A = this chain, B = another copy of it.
Amino acid sequence: MIVTIVGVGLIGGSLALSLKEKGIADRIIGADNHNENLQKALSLNIIDEAAALEDAFDRSDLVVLAIPVDALLKVMPGLMDRAGKQVIMDVGSTKEKILELVAGHPNRGRFVAAHPMAGTEYSGPEAAVQHLFKGKTMVLCDVKHSDDDALEMIEEMVDKLHMRLVYMNAEEHDLHTAYVSHISHITSFALALTVLEKEKEKGRIFELASGGFESTVRLAKSSPDMWVPIFKHNRNNVLDVLDEHIHQLEQMRDLLKSEDYDTFYKLIQKSNKIKRILK
């Protein structure tokens, strides 16, 4: 089939590579507002052809929208109006706003709302890697409003990509991703700012930073173009979990201030329970 990837960055580009490698797509058309991304994607053999979305849309069996969630809201209405046989899938990190936007549209069934739980802190076509999705989870949201053939196409793709399928409604999705993804990014951004603020002798960071620091702070390399819209869309959930996180840090600070090391010890022991959940 012919697949158009809108936004040939980390996620769109990696998906293009995987769809080609697995023989799911016969031809990949790339569309992107940034012409240099298209040129890079062509030279890296991520896409077969660069085209304007308007030109590519009618020829496509599947159109994947891999753009920041604010841009998604802008481009979606026009595409929904135009949808015929095509399946439209997004890969955005928030789901409530987009699903509100398309609710009740006559072509609603052509849309499948998806979120692959995979990524790195890098962006752009150079960041695309072939096996980004293998073994990862693909969340599909509110699938009861998608047409059977559209859903089947995406489910089959997910299967061929060796991803695990999870179904959720949009509300659940946005709540859980606030907990396990969005707050991690907030923490990392804040940690980077903290260290940049406190550490004036920059060389010392480089010299001393070990694996622990690097892994905690690596998400702070993530692009604001992608993340500010996510925080905006998922503001209430993010605020809720951020309040809790600040509360936990304040609790640790208070225990350290009052030198109550026994309670501090118990708190760390409690946090160790994350082991059981992650492993």
The answer to whether B212 and A183 have CB atoms under 8 Å apart is: no
The answer to whether A245 and B211 have CB atoms under 8 Å apart is: no
One digit per residue, 1 when the CB lies within 8 angstroms of any chain B CB and 0 when it does not, for chain A 131-148 equals: 000001101000000000
The answer to whether A208 and B180 have CB atoms under 8 Å apart is: yes
In the complex, chain B residues whose CB is within 8 Å of the CB of A23: none
A166, CB-defined interface residue at 8 Å:
yes
The answer to whether A191 and B199 have CB atoms under 8 Å apart is: no
A190, CB-defined interface residue at 8 Å:
yes
Considering only CB atoms, which chain B residue lies closest to A179 in the complex? B199
Considering only CB atoms, which chain B residue lies closest to A221 in the complex? B275
The answer to whether A246 and B246 have CB atoms under 8 Å apart is: yes
Q: A64-88: which residues lie under 8 A (CB-CB) from chain B? A: none
Q: Within the complex, which residue of B196, B216, B273 is in contact with A215, where a contact is CB–CB below 8 Å?
A: B216
In the complex, chain B residues whose CB is within 8 Å of the CB of A223: 272
Distance from A236 Cβ to chain B, minimum over Cβ atoms (Å): 10
Q: Within the complex, which residue of B208, B221, B224, B272 is in contact with A166, where a contact is CB–CB below 8 Å?
A: B208
Report the count of interface residues on A (CB-CB < 8 A).
92
Q: What's the Cα separation between A232 and B212 when bound, in Å?
A: 19
Q: How many copies does the complex hold?
A: 2
Q: What's the Cα separation between A92 and B64 when bound, in Å?
A: 52
In the complex, chain B residues whose CB is within 8 Å of the CB of A238: 256
The answer to whether A218 and B215 have CB atoms under 8 Å apart is: yes
A184, CB-defined interface residue at 8 Å:
yes
In the complex, chain B residues whose CB is within 8 Å of the CB of A252: 186, 189-190, 242
A110, CB-defined interface residue at 8 Å:
no
In the complex, chain B residues whose CB is within 8 Å of the CB of A199: 176, 179-180
In the complex, chain B residues whose CB is within 8 Å of the CB of A215: 215-216, 218-219
The answer to whether B196 and A209 have CB atoms under 8 Å apart is: no
Question: What are 30 A-B residue pairs whose CB atoms fall within 8 Å in the complex?
Answer: A117-B208, A118-B210, A119-B212, A137-B208, A164-B207, A176-B201, A176-B204, A183-B194, A183-B195, A187-B187, A188-B216, A190-B245, A190-B271, A192-B274, A193-B267, A194-B241, A196-B277, A202-B277, A205-B278, A214-B278, A215-B218, A216-B219, A217-B278, A221-B278, A222-B268, A231-B264, A239-B256, A242-B256, A243-B253, A245-B249
Residues of A at the B interface (CB closer than 8 Å) are: 117-121, 136-137, 139, 164, 166, 172, 176-177, 179-181, 183-199, 201-202, 204-224, 227-228, 231-232, 235, 238-246, 248-250, 252-253, 256-257, 259, 261, 264-265, 267-275, 277-278
Q: Which 6 interchain pairs have the tightest Cβ spacing?
A: A224-B268, A192-B271, A192-B274, A184-B216, A190-B248, A117-B210
